[in-house]
Amino acid sequence: MRLNCSASVYTGPYIAIQEVPMEEARVKVTIRCNLCGEKFVLRGRRDKGSIDTGFKQCICNNSNDLDIEEHSV
């Protein structure tokens, strides 16, 4: 007797990559440095409560004292 394999859950190497939802929250983020006053306008992606903009630090090396404003695109 043979089992019908096609009915079992496929757990091969091609596990589906988690699809990005269509309503992926794209946001525009304005970051102002409180030390030197430089402004950065970045496109970001909201991800579980935080916003991923790729921003690391200001040109003055400040990475903590920042004023971050979020706008929906």
62 contacts Zn ion (rule: CB under 5 A): yes
List the one residue out of 31, 29, 64 whose CA is nearest residue 47.
29
CB of 34 to Zn ion, least distance (A): 8
Stretch that binds Zn ion, among 12-20, 23-31, 51-59, 63-71 (CB under 5 A): 51-59
32 contacts Zn ion (rule: CB under 5 A): no
Bridge partner list, 29: 42, 70
Q: Which of 36, 47, 52, 67 binds Zn ion (CB under 5 A)?
A: 36
Q: Considering just the CA atoms, what is the radius of gyration of the chain in Å?
A: 21
Structure tokens at 7: 């009915």
